[in-house]
Amino acid sequence: MERVDSKTVYEGKIATVRVETFRHADGSETEREVVAHPGAVAILAHDDERIYLVRQPREAVNEESLLELPAGKLDVDGESPLECAQRELAEEVGKAASDWRELKRFYTSPGFAQEEVTVFVATGLRDESRDAGEEERIEIVPWPLAEIDGAIEECRDAKSLVGLQLLRELLDG
């Protein structure tokens, strides 16, 4: 199956909807509607004692304040997932890391959205200057690694839940 056309039918501040046309091998065509997304990254940044989480109000879910992994969209042209993760960790948490490891890629809601998240583990942390724009919006939450179960209990964000559960498995293994 080959994509022969892609039309943007709605473009807003946070959501873009496209209708894509595909041609099958027999020449017949199908249309499909998707919520477009450039992809995202999420970061499990930890040392021996703490994992650095964030808390922020989320407009899409009634301003509920959610405990999450530091994360961000691949919205800079030509930036790789790893570069994006390094930028987001500095901007949101004010940290750089010497060791980066890709842990898992998955789709957040493949029933309607393109979004794919890549989760990284970042260790060998050191302080960096934080993005001033993020300081008001995002609270840094240094969480004791020994109490990671409590973070999983409180967390209601899918990408963060997947990451925290994988990290618990890694630490237990």
Residues known to be catalytic: 134
| 126 lies in the binding site for a copy of itself (CB under 8 A) | no
CB of 132 to a copy of itself, least distance (A): 21
Among candidates 94, 87, 97, which has minimal Cα distance to 129?
94
CB of 71 to a copy of itself, least distance (A): 8
In angstroms, the CA 24 to CA 3 distance is 9
The nearer residue to a copy of itself, 44 or 155, going by C-beta atoms, is 155
Sign of CA dihedral 135, 146, 120, 164: negative
CB of 58 to a copy of itself, least distance (A): 4
Among candidates 166, 168, 147, 150, which has minimal Cα distance to 158?
166
x/- site string to a copy of itself, residues 97 to 116, per CB under 8 A? -------xxxxxxxxxxxxx
| 10 lies in the binding site for a copy of itself (CB under 8 A) | yes
In angstroms, the CA 156 to CA 169 distance is 19
Q: Are 103 and 163 in contact (CB under 8 A)?
A: yes
In angstroms, the CA 95 to CA 27 distance is 52
x/- site string to a copy of itself, residues 150 to 169, per CB under 8 A? -----xxxxx-xx--xx--x
CB atoms within 10 A of CB 89: 26
| 82 lies in the binding site for a copy of itself (CB under 8 A) | no
| 7 lies in the binding site for a copy of itself (CB under 8 A) | no
Question: Which positions lie near a copy of itself, rule CB under 8 A?
Answer: 1, 9-10, 12-15, 17, 19, 32-35, 37, 40, 58-61, 63-64, 66, 71, 73, 104-117, 155-159, 161-162, 165-166, 169
